[in-house]
Amino acid sequence: MTPNWAVGDECQLPATAAIWLTNDPQPGLVLVEFVDAHGRPHWLVDKCAIFGADLLPTSTYPRPTSIRCSIDAIDGDIATVRPWWTISCGGLSFLFDVPADVLVPMTAG
Which contiguous run of DSSP H or E holds residue 104? strand 104-105
Work out how many domains the chain is built from and give that number: 1
DSSP state, 55?
A: -
Flag whether pLDDT at 1 surpasses 60: no
Specify the amino acid at residue 34.
Answer: F
pLDDT-based confidence at residue 25 (cuts at 50, 70, 90): confident
In-domain check, residue 78: yes
Per-residue pLDDT at 53? 77
In-domain check, residue 3: no
Give yes or no for a contact between 65 and 51, defined as CB atoms under 8 angstroms apart: yes
Flag whether pLDDT at 107 surpasses 80: no
Question: What do you get for the CA distance between the two ends of the chain, in Å?
Answer: 22
In-domain check, residue 1: no
In-domain check, residue 82: yes
Query: Across-strand partners of 34?
Result: 42
Query: Across-strand partners of 30?
Result: 20, 46
In-domain check, residue 21: yes
In-domain check, residue 2: no
pTM score of the predicted model: 0.88
In-domain check, residue 74: yes
Per-residue pLDDT at 24? 85
Q: Residues 49, 97, 38, 15: what is their CA dihedral angle, to the nearest 10 degrees? A: 20
12 to 22, 70, 89, 95: CA distances (angstroms): 24, 8, 23, 14
Per-residue pLDDT at 87? 60
Residue range 9-19: average pLDDT? 96
pLDDT-based confidence at residue 91 (cuts at 50, 70, 90): low
In-domain check, residue 84: yes
Residue range 97-102: average pLDDT? 97
**Interval 35-89: pLDDT, tens:** 999 999 999 999 998 897 789 999 999 999 999 999 999 999 999 999 987 665 6
Domain that holds residue 55: 10-105
